[in-house]
A and B are shown apart, each in its own frame.
Chain A
Amino acid sequence: MDRLEEELKKALAREAPSDGFAERVAARAASAEKRVAVFPLPRWSMAVAATVLLGVGGGLAYREHRGEVAKEQVMQAMRITAVKLNHIQAHVREVRQ
């Protein structure tokens, strides 16, 4: 490693965030947990819960949940596709150059 690289290591040394960072993160995480604790039931009982909810007009909440799950799967699928295409494009361009 040459002198520039040594200086880069020093310049880019890790720094701590401001005081209380970990506490702020913990607080936000706890707050987020409360918001999503709508279905504390195990997954297998979701079908039962869904039937009850539908029966009392709560179908909307369950539909929302299914939609979010489907959306996350789509986004993950697209992310993986994008990564692979990115690799391929980069390789093709390097070979051309």
Chain B
Amino acid sequence: MRLAAILMAAAGMLGAQPLKLNLEHLASKASDSVDITLNGSTLQFAAKFLNSGDPDEAKVKKLIMGIDGITIRNFEFKKDGEWSAADAESVRTQLKGPDWSRMVGYKSESDGDAEVYIRTVNQKIAGVAILATSPREFTVVHISGTIDLDSLADLTGHFGMPKIKDGRKSSKM
């Protein structure tokens, strides 16, 4: 099942519900970190400066039109063990409300762990959250608002990344 199919397309913005993330203590241990919080008005302002002639920027411009908030916390560490299970659990606790449901989750020794959550209100998607961890990286992504989830999943294939193709496994390259 494509990720986009799992994440159903929807409409309806019911107000931003920012996650309360207490992860500042990880920043001091990180070798590199990204901390982005964008509200609706900043997103709409930024959209004016996105170039419709650039494929990546055009995609993003279309995607953010109905979004009212984006939060990114990304930490990279030089050694294992800098983040704890409690850090991950503090994020999951935010995603256990009645509106949230976990759509995808896996644990992998080689690829790290990842979970994708969807928030639905009145049967419409109002938020997506991703918690992705590996021994030396900790990432939380939260997007709230009207999300075109086909477009969100279709981001793979942009930003210089190979697109994950549908269809059967091919032996030809």
Contact = CB atoms under 8 A, between A and B. Distances in A.
Contacts of A84: 114, 130, 132, 139, 141
Given A78-B63, A86-B161, A71 B49 contact: yes
B122 interface: no
A71 B50 contact: yes
Interface residues of A, number: 29
A92 B104 contact: yes
Interface residues of B, number: 42
Interface in B138-173: 139, 141, 143, 152-153, 155-156, 158-159, 161, 164, 169
Contacts, number: 105
Q: In terms of DSSP, what is the predominant structure of the interface of chain A?
A: helix
B60 A75 contact: yes
Given A76-B36, A82-B155, A67 B72 contact: no
Nearest to A93: B164
A74 B64 contact: yes
Contact of A87 (B38, B111, B143): B111
B3 A85 contact: yes
Interface of A: 64, 66-68, 70-71, 73-93, 95, 97
